[in-house]
Amino acid sequence: MMFTQKIIPILIAAALPLAVNAAPRHKLSTIEMAVEMPAFEVRLDAMHSAQLSATPCDHCKAVTLQIDSSTKLTHHGQSLDLDSLNDAAAQGATLFYLPESGRVTRIQLWH
């Protein structure tokens, strides 16, 4: 009985590293990035698209972003028609985009 009580913790301790290494490894990947633009103003063309340059952070290189007809526009949680960007004066906005393509998925207006 005494032998069994001593061997079980040793077996568990030996098996634990094997169980940890057997766990699946998950790699995190960036799905969407965001850039804040305090003075955001853009004009859409007839196809409801526009291209602009933005700098995601102080030490980041500028990225080229594309707005298209699938971009969602919101203000205080309310959906807006994308065409309303053409009528809006400069205001702040957060643009969410796909880093691999630069396509803007959604825009949240601040004011």
Boundaries of domain holding 52: 33-109
What one-character-per-residue DSSP string does 34-54 give? Answer: EEEEEEE-----TTS-EEEEE
| Residue 98 maps to a domain | yes
| Residue 25 maps to a domain | no
Per-residue pLDDT reduced to its tens digit, 31-73:
899 999 988 888 999 999 999 998 888 888 889 999 999 999 9
| Residue 7 maps to a domain | no
Tell me what pLDDT residue 14 has.
63
| Residue 11 maps to a domain | no
Q: How many domains does the chain have?
A: 1
| Residue 66 maps to a domain | yes
Per-residue pLDDT reduced to its tens digit, 80-97:
999 999 887 778 999 999
> Do 53 and 67 form a contact (C-beta atoms < 8 A)?
no
| Residue 51 maps to a domain | yes
| Residue 15 maps to a domain | no
When pLDDT is cut at 50, 70 and 90, the band that residue 111 belongs to is confident
| Residue 1 maps to a domain | no
Q: 107: which strand partners? A: 73, 95
